[in-house]
Amino acid sequence: MSSTALDPESADHAVDARLAPAKVNLALHVTGLRADGFHTIESLAVFTRFGDRIEAQRADEDRFIVSGRFAGLVPTDETNLILKARDALRRHADPKNAPAVAISLEKNLPVASGIGGGSSDAAAALRALASIWKLDIDEMELAQIGFSLGADLPMCLKAQPLLAHGAGETISTVAKFPALGLVMVNPGVTVATADVFRSLARRENEVLPPLPDVIDFHSLLGWLEATRNDLEPAAETISPLIGKARAALLRADAAFARMSGSGATCFGLFETGNVAKRAAASIRARHPDWFVAATRSMASEVHEVEYA
């Protein structure tokens, strides 16, 4: 996370700029359905060095500006999760402590694509605004505000290798988790999460197996082979292109490929970042209209994120 000041003499002109990383569900098991309507899950998730970018700054009135490859698909009214996050944090803080802000979003991730783009944007906005407004707010309060907006928000606020339980709000970080070379591929389709959950053939599945005692690339691959994304078969019935995206990754020599979240983005794991870059170039040449991004995930020990 980083911030820069336009005018060192005045905090009012400070710009807080943050990466909103993609969230990749390496494994996702659906384990039940709660009385409140939320499905229970267990998921191992990592966050990438490639993502959207959020900037927030004090202003004379609230403003929201969107740029980037996928800007045209982002709503700019009150349905946008970033603006919902702004309003929820403002209510929590008391509006008199939360003056007008200008928020800009550089939208580099495809929308409704299973990699937490909207949730990660909102999480980054919550942190940026808490800083701009100088709020005395702890991690639990931020997570509670986040969960009120969406089940993925607590994960995205943490933004490091983690295991998520419950509806996604119960989180434990994973120590000594390595950075992974990976490629994200989206074939240009959106899949509604609600439609995927409605299409599930089974909602009560076994929990994730225990993680290896020592996690490296090869032990992780062995662990992943014993896991699933329980949403993948349902999502693929809605959009068969998901299978083609996964196949493209395997054709490019991914050591492992799977759909992330509720789709339609798939990811492939590669032993090094350079191998991932070559694979991405190969896929992009065959499918120039697809979203293809080579990146690395953030390791457990890394707390300062970098812009891709």
Residues near 86 by Cβ (< 8 Å), separated by ≥ 6?
A: 62, 101, 103, 125, 129
Conformational region of residue 145, where left means phi above 0, alpha means psi within -120 to 50, and beta covers everything else: alpha
Q: What are phi and psi of 149, to 5 degrees?
A: -95, -25
CB of 298 closer than 8 Å to CB of 305: yes
Among residues 286, 272, 279, 261, the alpha carbon closest in space to that of 45 is found at 261
Q: Is the dihedral of CA 154, 155, 160, 165 positive or negative?
A: positive
Question: Is 84 a residue of the active site?
Answer: no
CA 106 – CA 121 distance, rounded (Å): 10
Give the rounded distance of the alpha carbon of 212 from its chain centre: 24
Question: Is 277 a residue of the active site?
Answer: no
Given 23, 52, 121, 158, which residue is catalytic? 23
Among residues 216, 213, 283, the alpha carbon closest in space to that of 254 is found at 283
SS3 197: helix
CB of 115 closer than 8 Å to CB of 71: no
Given 16, 52, 152, 230, which residue is catalytic? 152
Active site residues: 23, 152
